[in-house]
Amino acid sequence: MQERKAPPNGTHAEQVSETWKHIPWRKLERHCFRIQKRIFRASQHGNQRAVHKLQKLLLKSQAARTLAVRRVTQDNQGKKTAGIDGKTALLAHQRLTLVQAIHPNQWPKKALPVRRIYIPKPGKQEQRPLGIPTIAERARQMLVKLALEPEWEAKFEPNSYGFRPGRSCHDAIEAIFKSIFRKDKYVLDADIKGCFDHAS
């Protein structure tokens, strides 16, 4: 019986997996950051035409699309949560396919519906509805976030902390402490019941 020899370069799946592993991520991040910095500066100067032009450049960029797919399928904590299509964290060849699929020229006219689940509210017996998009839709959303974030970071109030890059609740606590430790002040805690559940 003759011995079977393994193919010299391994299987196609292994080759694709190696291709994904050896992507120069630092280089891609630097490339995206350079464009984002230009968007930020153009927004600061009120040059809306340049902002839109640079955002389109970033959306079509291979580097930005690859980073968006990586963040959704590898870095994000919800990578194993499926949308209505049942897909979760993808294999390397599926990620590379998704990078091409989220190019703005390939976007569908209408997104797939979200998968609706209910999660408990902290300290209450009520449940809160949560919509989970498909993994492809999440990758598109991440790509758009990369383009929109620098524009609006240039316009946001310096003292806002919700969903801001590089900021956390600890920064908000520090700002509150610095504001009130010299003198007593009133604090208003407001909860708009079901606001986003019923907003049309």
Distance between CA 39 and CA 58 in Å, rounded? 10
In the beta sheet, which residues pair with residue 132? 115
131: which strand partners?
116
Amino acid 92 reads A
pTM of the model as a whole: 0.80
Q: What is the pLDDT of residue 1?
A: 44
Lowest mean pLDDT among 2-11, 91-100, 102-111: 2-11
Written as one letter, the residue type at 19 is T
State the chain's mean pLDDT as an integer: 86
pLDDT tens sequence across 116-133: 988 888 878 888 888 999
38 and 51 Cβ atoms separated by less than 8 Å? no
Tell me how far apart the alpha carbons of residues 71 and 89 are, in angstroms, rounded to a whole number: 11
